[in-house]
A and B are shown apart, each in its own frame.
Chain A
């Protein structure tokens, strides 16, 4: 079946990667700024991204022809 769904715009393609990378950047910098809570934020944000992307590229299934 031919896919007639509309194509994603540039903004739609980049918005989630942008959000993920801004969170990662905040995590990278926060551990540099302070300890305790700052470290915790760094672990949670960066760790979440690292784990989520590892799991999704291992297990996630996707069929683009919807």
Chain B
């Protein structure tokens, strides 16, 4: 089912314009994304932490960590406790108020087994944070993220239209053929077609999960106003005494009910991801398939009682699955190296695409028509059933 001349022309224009608009941003994302694949390796290499050799199941007092944090930052609120998924550390996130954001937060790092204060650099400073911020928001916060999401949609359009316009070029060529004797333009056209087609599924996975991740902030707000507000509403009218129950008691109550709970995150009462009356504790699943599917334990801050364990809504599950699929950090170092290689191939596809546009001469769209003319000529001499229809 070969496309009509007119259809090829339209798809070609879609491919050209969707690519032209987003390519500069995509190139920036591919370049900044490359070191970000190795974010944790670079952090460890540039700041290797010496951990005390103690039993891994030893657990430091969270109340003590809380007290130490408040002593270091008097008058500030302790908002979140974050368990690292590779290193034995807990990060404490503090804010001047409970309404904290990443830029204004104060981070402290503790050994989660001994409670020892570690001198790790804060995750919201330094070159890697700059790259992440550039990659995620163009340094412009939510508007930048949403803009990049829009560019991501254009990129997906560009990939799909690229699949369609691939066919007219390949009537005489096998997959991955590169004609080197026919000049630079033909050579780069073939490289563009080969690298582009071979990496379609990877760039679509990374692209679409990237689009989803640009929506993290609006989706978090949706959750706060939905599920979280519903939980809070059941306690409307009741007031909570300040610090009725400490985090140690909350953890103990949770572990009593769910002995194998793998805690990844604890949100203090009154913080953006809890209610004024509850702690929320995020639990990782304990199989490889479910470890990214977070369940939320809600605990009454007045009594420490477990109020229930809830699944997150589908859109947060989607976000949680998108993170590893976007960054490639879910299959060890070999997968990261492959991610980097595929990223470099994507840079080649983008770069050759830019070159093809710059070296287009005056021919432009006519090229596609030339291909069709050539095709029809051959067809008249040797009709092929199935090649046209």
Those of A44-64 within 8 Å (CB) of chain B:
46-47, 49-51, 53-54, 56-57, 60-64
Nearest B residue to A47 via CB reads B338
| A31-B331 contact in complex given A7-B171, A8-B387, A21-B201, C-beta closer than 8 Å | yes
Q: Which residue of B lies closest to A46 (CB)?
A: B338
Complex partner residue of B179 from A31, A54, A63, CB under 8 angstroms: A63
Which residues of A9-47 have CB atoms within 8 Å of chain B's CB atoms? 9-11, 13-14, 16-17, 20-22, 24-25, 28, 31-35, 38-39, 42-43, 46-47
Given A57-B191, A63-B179, A39 contacting B335 (CB threshold 8 A):
yes
A7-B379, A14-B167, A39-B332 known; A51+B341 contact, CB < 8 A: yes
Question: In the bound complex, how far is the Cα of B175 from the Cα of A49, in angstroms?
Answer: 13
Residue among B289, B321, B345 making CB contact with A53, cutoff 8 Å: B345
Chain B 362-389 against A: per-residue CB contact (8 Å), 1 yes, 0 no?
0000000000000100110110101100
User: Are A7 and B325 within 8 A (Cβ)?
Assistant: no
Task: Sort chain B's interface into a size bin.
Answer: 35 or more
Contacts of A17 in B (CB 8 A): 166, 175, 197-198, 200
A24–B201 Cα distance when bound, in Å, is 7
CB within 8 Å of B: which residues of A? 3-11, 13-14, 16-17, 20-22, 24-25, 28, 31-35, 38-39, 42-43, 46-47, 49-51, 53-54, 56-57, 60-64
A-B pairs, 4 with minimum CB distance: A31-B331, A62-B177, A16-B175, A53-B198
| A-B CB contact pairs (8 Å), 9 listed | A6-B378, A6-B384, A7-B375, A21-B200, A24-B201, A33-B288, A47-B334, A50-B342, A50-B345
